[in-house]
Amino acid sequence: MPEDGFQATAAAAGTFTIGGDLTVNRLGFGAMRLTGPRILGEPADRELAKAVLRRAVELGVTLIDTADAYGPGVSEELIAEALHPYPPGLVIATKGGLIRRGASWLPSGRPAHLREALEGSLRRLRTDRIDLYQLHAVDPSIAIEESMAALVDLQRHGKIRHIGVSNVTARELARARSVARVVSVQNRYNLADRQSDDLVDVCERDHLGFLPWYPLATGRLARVREARLRQIARDRGATPGQIALAWLLRRSPVMLPIPGTSSMSHVEENAAAARIRLTDEDVSALASYGA
C-alpha cells in the first residue's frame, strides 16, 4: 500500500463513544509490548518504541491502552515522552491494581494501593486526569465493591474521567456496576478464545466499550484451523492477523481492539486491518474457531 494510503487508516473501522463523551476510532493500540522482555524494564530501542507510538497516531489511532504494571511504569513514560502534549482527541487509557514482583503479576485492589497507583500514572503520563482508568484485575482478598468505591472517590476528586474494569466475570462486572458507572470492560478475547462472549453481549446491550486484550492470540491463530484462516487471508490479500482483527471489529460495534507491537511494520499492518470488510461467508467459515 502506498504511504498516503496508510494515513488515518485506523479511522476506517468507524468510531465508538466511550462513556457518552469520548469518541475514539475503534481500532486502538496496546502499549504493553513497548517494554522489555516479559513486560519488564526498558525496551531494547527506546527511540523506536516512541516512533511506533507516533506512527500509530499518524495512522489514525485515537485510543492507546497501557497500565502502570507495564515495565512497571515504562510504558506510561514512553507514551508521555513520545506524545505529550497530547493531540486533541487522543484518549490514553491506563490501569491499576496489579503489582509486579519479578515476572509475576499480583493483584492489589486495596484502596490505598489504587490511590497510589493512580497518582503514579498521573505523574508519568504528565496529566491531571486519566480519561479511562481501569481496575486491572479483581483482588480476591478484597471485595470488588471496595476497590470500585476507591475509584469513584478519585473520580469525584477530578482525577478520573471514566472508570473501566478488566479481567472480570459477568457477576464481577455486575457487582462493580452496583458501585460505579462502569463504561468499559477489558478481557482476553480473540478469534480463537471466546470465553468472554457473554461479556461482549452485555457490553453491546448496555453500550459499554469492550477492549479485547491478546486480540491476535499470538501463536495460537497460526496453529488452530490454519488452512481456513489463511485461505480467507489469501483471498483478501491480507495476513491472518489482519483477518483476526477484522473479525473482532465485525463481532460487535462496541469492540475496541488494541493490538500491540514494538515493530513499525506491524503497527502499519494492524492499522490496515481496519479497511477489511469480512463477508457473511467469511464469518461463517470462522465460526468454529472459538468452539
State the CATH architecture for 14-285: Alpha-Beta Barrel (3.20)
> Does pTM surpass 0.75?
yes
Identity of residue 49: A
Alpha helices in 161-263 (DSSP H): 170-177, 197-206, 220-223, 226-236, 240-251
Q: Would residue 214 show up in a list of annotated catalytic residues for this protein?
A: no
Name, in order, each residue with C-beta under 8 angstroms of 109's C-beta and a sequence gap of 6 or more.
97, 135, 137, 138, 139, 141, 142, 144, 146, 147
Angle, helix 144-156 to helix 170-177, in steps of 10 degrees: 40
Q: What is the pLDDT along the chain (291 residues), one digit of tens a residue?
A: 334 444 579 999 999 999 999 999 999 999 999 999 999 999 999 999 999 999 999 999 999 999 999 999 999 999 999 999 999 999 999 999 999 999 999 999 999 999 999 999 999 999 999 999 999 999 999 999 999 999 999 999 999 999 999 999 999 999 999 999 999 999 999 998 999 999 999 999 999 999 999 998 765 664 545 678 889 999 999 999 999 999 999 999 999 999 999 999 999 999 999 999 999 999 999 987 655
Ordered by start, the domain boundaries in the chain are 14-285
